[in-house]
Structure 1
Amino acid sequence: MPEPPRPKELPGSLLTDPVMIEACRTRDFGRVFLLVRVRAGIYPSMVARRCDLTPSRVGEVIAGRRQLRHMDVVERIADGLRIPGHMLGLARRPWETPQNLTVTPRERIEASPPVGRPPAAGLPGPDVDSVLALAAERELGPSTLEALHSSIADYWRRDDEHGGETLRPAVVGQLRYVVDLLKEQRPAPLREGLHGIAAELARLTGWMYFDARQYSQARTYFTEALGLAKAVDDRQLMANVLACMSLQATYQEKPGDALALVTAAQDQARGARRTTPRVLAMLTMREAFAHAALGNRSATHSAISEAHAHFGRISPGDPDPAWVAYFDEPKLIVDTGIAHGRLGESALAEPLIADALRREHRSNRRGRALHAFWLARTQLQRGKLNEACHTAMDALAPAAAVGSQRIAGHLREFYEQLEPFRREPAAVSFEARLREVLSRQVSGSPRP
């Protein structure tokens, strides 16, 4: 009788994905089942069949109405989906050893040490591997810091492309891991590096909560990031965190707080050993946002001019922090347009935002969606209804691909501004397209 076919292996890229690692570590099987569906094409009915579960039970887990905790069920999931045992807190599974590396009983006997002699030193057994790996994790060095910095850069890229909702547990887990490492004695350079990494992870977590419009949680993590950066006197990073808090205050319609926070950010930057022109340009543009939110036209224009002057002094050899690399020329231009837009200067704002949008990288789907809705609003303010609706329709695809409540807020604002034009053909077409996109999201159909 032929052997049943071996279950399909999960892609290596999925098994090494921080989101998958965190979901397995916490045994969040709802998220695991979603990830294997999206990344490996293993649908819920197939999960049920491979793991000896009922389809209804799998559906309840995905919907968050049931958790799977029994050890025999966890083992069936590991074996059915081919998830290595260590990822789920299990011993090495039998199938993890390739068939051609399996040792026969005869070979084991021959390899055994003679009676009366101490065992010879050799390779550790499978149960010892995980213990040694755990111990090795504490032996930190420059390569560890480099790997952590690399993971942060990858988190930011994924956040721009997909939003932070699914990434957030992994980022928080890594933050807690690094903070835990700081509880032990470390050489000064290593300790300073870990503080910087922890501060960046806390800032990223705060940013993800801000993008989800969960402002209280965002402020908590921004405050944690500020304390971590202050512990090693990283004034540029402190300035960056304060600038993030200033932007959040602008969204919360607290322009006075926004101005106070960005002023504090600039004070920190001036106190740093060397603050680069790119950092100063970014901070000054955030100041322009605060002045615009206050309706102070002259101060906004002055800040915009100063930001462009700082940007003009950027040199290729500047030691820019990694976190400010995003502030390139298209970003400077689009932020200039948005500052004018906040003042109601739509004639100045429209060409700037349109130019930046044409030059913006397509992988930054959240940025493209946000900036397209800003462009649509300025076009509507100028009486260009057809262009505004067309621009907003173009923004729906990247908006649907990213989980961002900020984007949803901009979409709602544009939709409300369309109210006087509801019967116009362009507005009717936009609403039809919007309903189509929303229905696809609800039904789980492929996004446009």
Structure 2
Amino acid sequence: MVPAGFYDAPELQRALGNYEFCQVFRAVRKAAGLSQQRFAELTGLTQQMVSLVERGKRNLRDVLLVARLANTLRIPPHLLGFGTESGNLDLNREVSRVERRDFLSIVLGITMSSTLHPDIARLSEMLPSQAESVPRRRIGVADAEAIENTADWFRQTVGAQGGGLIHSAALAQLQAVRSFDDALCTEEVRARVDLAIGYLAWIAGKASWDIEALDQTKQLLLFALNRAKRAEQHPRSTDLTIAVLLDASYHALREGHDPSHQGRSALRLVEHGFNVANTSLHGASTSVRADLYTNRAFCHATLGNADQCHDSLNMEGETFATIQPDTVPPWLRHITEAEIASHRAYSMHLLARTQPEFVPTAVEQLDVVVNDSDLTYARTRAVQLTNLSELYIRGGDLDAGMRIGQEAIAAVNGLSSRRSRNRLQAIADAAEPFAAKSSDMAQLRTEVHAAVHETRV
């Protein structure tokens, strides 16, 4: 669109550094000979928005919108602060003090840049703990396969039983394979090993999230993104990058007490995932695109956008129907029709939290899901039992809420997942208004408390 060195002009660098896109838009359009309408089509903006920006009437501050523009207009990411100049990232700061925008900026710095600024490279290679490992002089395909198989086993265990059982083992394994970094190998093996290590780090992050080690989770997700970036020549690199972004999006949905803010933050990461799918060297697989629609539905449901939620669920179903089994990445092979139904039910549950008219639909769909023998993992059933009990109680069916709530407690007690235990609190919260007059609800709250705190009733 613009010639090499176009953004070297001091006035453009100053404008980009201040996010003053009025001058940038006009300069790019003039250099490329584009009308406002054509420029709008290329950037995904409206012609009215382009006009407002060029006249200085509208500022662009949304970090993911700016990231998308950087990709389209080929703006060097460091000029916008994605990758940052030396000193902008304080590597001595505790990870627990990294603000959400800092985390998002690092994510963008990894996924957008062709090369990483050294500060971001160092930060994204940090692991939660350091340990000695035995160095290797040479590695080959068998080593890559071993890491892949290990990561896949950990993934299945997290999915079936929770992350508590394998958390320490996953971290230890991740530390061990770091010794492969200095080993000799071919470029093909290096890309495959980097991707496998990224896969392992992502699964370790899932385990950390499950035991509610949130800062550790962020470290591991950044590490996984960086490894996927290093392996960008591998055909699966785009799929892994998007998988990690979607996990970060799901975490954003669950963090905090402001559904509107949570939904917007999560949706930004999902939309960035779509951007990665469309602009990376290797396209995203069909199953990963279906997963993008799934998570977009969750975000819109959280925001109360019923129409957009249903549109996304329909797109998920249509995309899922076109999947070729041999193209599915290992981490999505558990997705079946039953799991798709579970996604729909969960979306209805999210809508029902703010729009009571969706309670009957959510209850009906959740009831089908928890009784479906084709669910891949018992954990899915445990989580959905919790959601179903909550809605039964909020809808006034206390008998069903009590019965399903006790089933949920029993199912969660069979998992190794601190997060699943804590989610049971939603049942107790729903039962609280009824506890004074209903001994069953009072008893259910006591049982939930015991399960959450792992004590005996």
TM-score (norm 1): 0.64
- Give the match for residue 245 of structure 1: 248
- Give the match for residue 422 of structure 2: 409
Q: Secondary structure at the match of 1:213?
A: coil
Q: Do the aligned residues in 1 keep the contact of 2:264 with 2:299 (CA within 8 Å)? A: yes
Worse overlay, 324-333 or 419-428: 419-428
Q: Do the aligned residues in 2 keep the contact of 1:390 with 1:430 (CA within 8 Å)? A: no
Match of 1:300 among 303, 309, 314: 309
Question: Structure 2: how far apart are the matches of 1:435 and 1:164?
Answer: 21
1:186 aligns with 2:185: yes
Aligned pair count reads: 308
Residue-by-residue CA offset, 1:74-118 (whole Å, 9 max, x unaligned): xxxxxxxxxxxxxxxxxxxxxxxxxxxxxxxxxxxxxxxxxxxxx
1:427 aligns with 2:426: no
- Give the match for residue 148 of structure 1: 147
- Give the match for residue 106 of structure 2: none
1:346 aligns with 2:359: yes
Question: Structure 1: how far apart are the matches of 2:452 and 2:209?
Answer: 23
Question: Structure 1: how far apart are the matches of 2:335 and 2:277?
Answer: 16
- Give the match for residue 340 of structure 2: 332
Q: Do the aligned residues in 2 keep the contact of 1:360 with 1:368 (CA within 8 Å)? A: no
Q: Do the aligned residues in 2 keep the contact of 1:235 with 1:271 (CA within 8 Å)? A: no
What are structure 2's unaligned runs of at least 5 residues? 1-133, 257-261, 353-357
Question: Structure 1: how far apart are the matches of 2:321 and 2:452?
Answer: 43
- Post-superposition offset of 1:319: 1.0
Cα distance change of structure 1 residues 235 and 434 upon mapping to structure 2, 3 Å threshold: closer
Cα distance change of structure 1 residues 437 and 404 upon mapping to structure 2, 3 Å threshold: closer
Q: What is the identity, as a one-letter code, of the residue corresponding to 1:398?
A: A
- Give the match for residue 398 of structure 2: 385
Q: Secondary structure at the match of 2:182?
A: coil
Q: What is the identity, as a one-letter code, of the residue corresponding to 2:305?
A: N
1:220 aligns with 2:219: yes
Residue-by-residue CA offset, 1:198-245 (whole Å, 9 max, x unaligned): 111111121122222332221111111111101111111101100000
- Give the match for residue 298 of structure 2: 289
Q: Do the aligned residues in 2 keep the contact of 1:175 with 1:198 (CA within 8 Å)? A: yes
- Post-superposition offset of 1:252: 0.9
Q: Secondary structure at the match of 2:314?
A: helix
Residue-by-residue CA offset, 1:389-445 (whole Å, 9 max, x unaligned): 211111112211223232123211110110122132542453465477679x447x9
Question: Structure 2: how far apart are the matches of 1:269 and 1:230?
Answer: 13
Q: Do the aligned residues in 1 keep the contact of 2:369 with 2:381 (CA within 8 Å)? A: no
1:231 aligns with 2:225: no
Q: What is the identity, as a one-letter code, of the residue corresponding to 1:242?
A: L
- Give the match for residue 373 of structure 1: 386
Q: What is the identity, as a one-letter code, of the residue corresponding to 2:336?
A: D
Question: Structure 2: how far apart are the matches of 1:363 and 1:324?
Answer: 11
Residue-by-residue CA offset, 1:318-346 (whole Å, 9 max, x unaligned): 41111111222222111111111111122
- Post-superposition offset of 1:372: 0.8
Residue-by-residue CA offset, 1:99-140 (whole Å, 9 max, x unaligned): xxxxxxxxxxxxxxxxxxxxxxxxxxxxxxxxxxx78x6553
Question: Structure 1: how far apart are the matches of 2:365 and 2:376?
Answer: 20
Equivalent positions of 1:274-285 (< 5 A) are 274-285=283-294
Worse overlay, 365-374 or 422-431: 422-431
Equivalent positions of 1:51-66 (< 5 A) are none
- Give the match for residue 270 of structure 1: 278
Question: Structure 2: how far apart are the matches of 1:315 and 1:393?
Answer: 40
Q: What is the identity, as a one-letter code, of the residue corresponding to 1:313?
A: T
- Post-superposition offset of 1:288: 0.9
What are structure 1's unaligned runs of at least 5 residues? 1-133
Equivalent positions of 1:1-80 (< 5 A) are none
Question: Structure 1: how far apart are the matches of 2:269 and 2:452?
Answer: 37
CA RMSD, aligned part only?
Answer: 2.5
Q: What is the identity, as a one-letter code, of the residue corresponding to 2:191?
A: E
Question: Structure 2: how far apart are the matches of 1:367 and 1:209?
Answer: 18
Question: Structure 2: how far apart are the matches of 1:297 and 1:329?
Answer: 22
Residue-by-residue CA offset, 1:257-284 (whole Å, 9 max, x unaligned): 1011011112112235343322111111
TM-score (norm 2): 0.62
Aligned-residue identity in percent: 21
